């Protein structure tokens, strides 16, 4: 399976932040983290959608 790479700098930081948060607290809701990251890193709607798909795929 190919790994999907985020394109924008803010999106990369958001993905990294989510990974760090999940390591620190694995019980946190990944979808909630994606939502928080979208706000924290001021992501566009398109990037926010990517982030949601990313965390959903990680869960499966």
CB distance 54 to 15 below 8 Å: yes
Nearest-angstrom CA–CA distance, 21 and 33 = 8
Per-residue buried b or exposed e for 49-58, using 16+ beta carbons within 10 Å of the residue's own CB:
ebbbebbeee
Q: 3-class DSSP state for residue 1?
A: coil
What confidence tens digit (pLDDT) does each residue in 19-60 have? 999 999 999 999 999 999 999 999 999 999 999 998 888 776
CB 21 within 8 A of CB 33: yes
| pTM reported for the whole predicted model | 0.80
pLDDT single digits (tens) 2-21: 455 556 799 999 999 999 99
């Amino acid at each position: 399976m190919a790994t999907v790479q985020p394109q924008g700098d803010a999106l990369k930081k958001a993905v990294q932040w989510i990974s760090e948060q999940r390591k620190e607290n694995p019980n946190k809701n990944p979808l909630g983290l994606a939502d928080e990251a979208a706000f924290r890193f001021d992501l566009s709607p398109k990037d926010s959608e990517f982030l949601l798909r990313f965390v959903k795929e990680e869960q499966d």
